Amino acid sequence: MSAATHDEQWFERIFAAHGTAIVRFLHRRGAYAEAEDLAAETFTVMWRKKDEVPDGAELPWLYKTAGLTLANWFRKKKSLPMGDSQETLDSLDSNDPATLVVKDHGMQAALAELSERDRDIILAVAWEGLTGQSLADYLGISRNAADAALSRTRKRLEEAIAKNT
For the cut 90, the answer to whether the pLDDT of residue 11 exceeds it is yes
Residue 123 pLDDT? 85
Quote the mean pLDDT of the chain.
83
Which of the four pLDDT bands, split at 50, 70 and 90, describes residue 133? very high
pLDDT at 31 (0 to 100): 84
Question: Quick one: residue 92, left, alpha or beta (phi over 0 = left, psi -120 to 50 = alpha)?
Answer: beta
The neighbour count for residue 37, using CB atoms within 10 Å, is 14
- Tell me what percent of the residues of the chain surpass a pLDDT of 70: 81
pLDDT score of 104: 60
Q: What is the pLDDT of residue 161?
A: 87
pLDDT tens profile 101-120: 455 667 778 888 999 999 98
Residue 96 in this model has a pLDDT that exceeds 80? no
Q: Largest alpha-carbon pair distance within the chain?
A: 54
14: phi then psi, degrees, rounded to nearest 5? -65, -40
* Burial of residue 33 (number of CB atoms within 10 Å: 0-12, 13-18, 19+): exposed
Instruction: Output the pTM of the full model.
Output: 0.69
Burial (CB < 10 A; 0-12, 13-18, 19+), residue 154, is middle
Q: What is the pLDDT of residues 41-94, one digit of tens each?
A: 999 999 999 999 999 999 999 999 999 999 888 888 765 454 444 444 444 455
Residue 84 has a pLDDT of: 43
Check residues 96 and 148 and name the one with the higher pLDDT.
148
Separation in Å, CA 150 to CA 12, 123, 140, 143: 32, 11, 13, 10
pLDDT value for 2: 53
